Chain A
Amino acid sequence: MNDELAYFNEDASEQLQMMESALLDAMDQGANSEYIGTIFRAMHTIKGIAGMFSFDEIISFTHIAENLMDAVRNGEIELDEDLLILLLQCKDHVAHLVNFAVASEEVPSDVLEKDAQLKKVIGEYLQIPQTQSSSTSSLLEPTQKSTIWNIEIILKESFFQTGMDMLSILSFMKKMGTIESITPHVDNIPALAEINPLYAYLSFSIVFLAHVAQSEIEEVFEFVEDDVELQISKDEEEDGVFFVDDDEIEGVVFVDENPVLKEQPSEGVEKKGTVPQKRSQQKTLSQSLRVDSSKIDLLIDTISEMVITNAKIAAYVDQYNDAELEEVSMQFESLLDELRNNVMNIRMVPVGDSFEKLRRVVSDVAHKLEKKINFTIIGGDTELDKTVVEKIADPLLHMLRNAIDHGIEIPKVRKEIGKPEMGQVTLKAYPDSGSIVIEIEDDGKGLSKDFILEKAISKGIVNASAELSDNEVFQLIFEPGFSTAEVISDISGRGVGMDVVRKNIEALKGDVELFSEVGVGSRFTIRLPLTLAIIDGFLFQVGKTKYIIPLDMVSEVVEYEIHHRISVLDGNLFDLRGTLLPLLNVREFYKESECYQCERQNIIIVQYGRNKMGLLVDELYGEYQTVIKPLGELFSYAPGLYGASILGSGEIALIFDIPSLFEILNTNKGE
């Protein structure tokens, strides 16, 4: 897909998503002018951008849908539930058309059939109030009330490199109105020997007859606005043709031969009516900028290298005790810190948009299963790395389907057992010690531990004699081949579900847990890392090796003293103010032969989710800006390691993977 198509795709998808949200909101809370406006704009905008690419099917369909919405906007048609459902179908249909257009595929016959069918239904709606609808359908057939526009288009040198073809733009203009004349200006074109054929040297004068406002013509050039100079003016010699915009002027008609008098009122009204609105819309548009995410990755890479370079300077400062340089280096470090945070922030997007998409699924599945669901989203403004947000959508979708299909009971049953008929499903996101937590909670029938255990044993997932904690039993549902569905439905899977869910989440360096209570409901808790490339770390040393832990996971550090020591079997516990916590002796664990500054040892207490553990280490160095570099294949089996970082001295520090250390500790305990 080329860049422009990708933009088109992104833009159209965004508009469709906004349309869907508005439709669902209108279903929940009743229609209002804001929702209607959003739906109208979605169809209008998609029509406009499809025009740039001459996607005729999309143009023709969105045009009709736009007319329908225009009639709704004018209060001629009521936006009732039937119409909302029809519009949802229209939205889906346009999404299909967009997909085919983007893939440059022919639209298959069944989709064309759907196209015709939807158009017919919309046509029926539009026929009822015939009064004004003719005024709304000016796109394809210009009426005699058109304005004559003089348009000068000067292509900037860069124009061809936008990938947009001027011919597509012209052919779209032909659909908006009539190109009375077009004159190319070729004087600036150099001779063959001098021409850079990739540069544009052309300009055009166009006389354009159409029943449109200036802003609508400007919109046609929206995609190339930086690469053309555009001058649009109304024809002063507009003899016999007068402009009445029935959207903006009520009961005012001018018939006057004096062009000055004629111009002023109509233009004045038009400018007041539409232009300022559009302007403010453009303003918000220009505030956001689409950037290829790989460019940001590149930026992060460069910052990473700068962090390492600065660490080298810091090491030099240490060595030569240069106070002035130290100050510069520290200043530089804090600037780098700021820069890093700002760049990271570019990648961060609120999870809300992605969550909103799931509302449709919930609504569809609930309808299909005849269940009543109140779906609540909490913490939609929590921010997460864009790639993580994209990749988490599928697992969430699956878990939500499961919650509705297997969790929530049908209304009749719920009434019988004294629950409200309306089932509650909550999707919640919040930050928690260096991670982002996403929870899916339902108040359905819950899962019985015995049932899970029995099933797991029958499927050979666990040994019948195994002694498992409650928590461990719940986690069995994430094992491959485990499915709790008594009847396989087309809503949630065939036992291929939860293990794939877990795998996808683990691929993002996250994890997932289930907690459930019979009759009360279930809760899935997903924990995801906040960022992927540079972290604030905590640097320490054990034996000859330096290690780093993500600083957010360090809850406290204490000196290891005699009273901490607890003698149990293999001594892997310690006493922290009366609480027993597991203790990992890092030196033993990685078989370091000697200790470093053995007279004093320290315990770093790390926290992950509800779990805490201590790491027994030698020397502490404190906070350290850490660039995460992946470890080579050779280390892929090294337990508990996430990656490595290059220190200023050129040494390597290993970065601990705390979640997997907890896992190792749990397994060891089991043995």
Chain B
Amino acid sequence: MKLEFDLLSIDNIDALKVKFLEYISEENSTITLDLSEVNKIDLCAIQLLLSLQKTLDMQNRELFIENCTQSVQDALYLCGCETLLGCNNE
């Protein structure tokens, strides 16, 4: 699923949560998020990604994040979440 936000931050965090809830309501065993459109992310949004991951984990499902922009990669690296959330760039 492509996240069509330029910015993932506290400003649109509620909308993002609604979107994530929609995703997990589908029955797939894995969820793949494409972050190629996201040019900026803050810790609030990273925390929500972690929550999404935790939720899927509890249901024995998996989260894949792919196509992170440089800025998102830098942000994940900075707060030490790069291995937790692991980004696959093709």
Point out residues on A near B: beta carbons under 8 Å. 160, 165-167, 170-171, 174, 181-184, 186, 189-193, 195, 197-198, 200-202, 204
Contacts and interface: CB of A to CB of B under 8 A. Distances in A.
A156 to B, nearest CB: 13
Contacts of B10: 160, 198
Contact of B42 (A165, A174, A201): A165
| Closest 5 pairs between A and B when the two form their complex, measured CB to CB | A182-B80, A192-B55, A197-B13, A191-B55, A166-B43
B20 to A, nearest CB: 6
A198 B13 contact: yes
A197 B43 contact: no
A182 B17 contact: no
Contacts of A193: 21, 55
Interface in B7-61: 10, 13-14, 16-17, 20-21, 24, 42-44, 47-48, 50-52, 54-55, 58
A204 B55 contact: no
Given A181-B80, A197-B14, A189 B51 contact: yes
Nearest to A181: B80
A184 B17 contact: no
A532 B75 CA distance: 50
Given A183-B80, A197-B14, A167 B75 contact: yes
A192 B17 contact: yes
9 contacts: A165-B44, A181-B80, A184-B50, A189-B51, A190-B51, A192-B55, A195-B48, A197-B14, A204-B80
A396 B43 CA distance: 47
A204 B46 CA distance: 14
A185 to B, nearest CB: 10
Contacts of B20: 192
B79 interface: yes
B81 A167 contact: no
B78 interface: yes
A189 B50 CA distance: 8
B84 interface: yes
Given A184-B84, A193-B21, A201-B47, A167 B54 contact: no
Contacts of B43: 160, 165-167, 200, 202
Contact of A202 (B13, B16, B21, B47): B47
A186 to B, nearest CB: 5
Given A160-B43, A167-B78, A202-B47, 4 more contacts: A182-B80, A198-B14, A201-B47, A202-B43
A200 B16 CA distance: 16
Contact of A197 (B16, B24, B54): B16
A144 to B, nearest CB: 24
A192 B42 contact: no
A195 B46 CA distance: 13
Contacts of B13: 197-198
A153 to B, nearest CB: 10
Nearest to A173: B78
Nearest to B56: A192
Contact of A182 (B51, B75, B79): B79
Interface size on B, as a range, is 20 to 34
A170 B78 contact: yes
Contacts of A192: 17, 20-21, 24, 48, 51-52, 54-55
B34 to A, nearest CB: 19
Contact of A184 (B44, B51, B80): B80
A318 B20 CA distance: 67
A191 B51 contact: yes
The interface centre, meaning the residue of A165, A193, A197 with most chain B CB atoms within 10 A of its CB, is A197
A174 B50 CA distance: 24
B50 A204 contact: no
Contact of A170 (B14, B21, B48, B79): B79
Contact of B48 (A165, A171, A182, A197): A197
A418 to B, nearest CB: 69
Contacts of B48: 192, 195, 197
Contact of A167 (B21, B24, B79): B79
Contacts of B24: 192
B44 to A, nearest CB: 5
The interface centre, meaning the residue of B14, B78, B81 with most chain A CB atoms within 10 A of its CB, is B78
B78 A200 contact: no
A197 B47 contact: yes
Contact of A160 (B17, B21, B44, B80): B44
B29 to A, nearest CB: 17
Contacts of B17: 192, 195, 197
Contacts of B55: 191-193
Contacts of B47: 189, 197, 200-202
A174 B78 CA distance: 9
A532 to B, nearest CB: 37
Contacts of B16: 197
Nearest to B75: A167
A184 B78 contact: no
Contacts of A171: 78
Contacts of B50: 184, 186, 189, 202
Contacts of A204: 79-80
B78 A195 contact: no
Contacts of B44: 160, 165, 197-198, 200
Contacts of A181: 80
Contacts of A167: 42-43, 75, 78-79
Nearest to A191: B55
B14 to A, nearest CB: 6
A608 B49 CA distance: 68
A174 B43 CA distance: 17
Contacts of A198: 10, 13-14, 44
A193 B52 CA distance: 9
A448 B68 CA distance: 76
B57 to A, nearest CB: 9
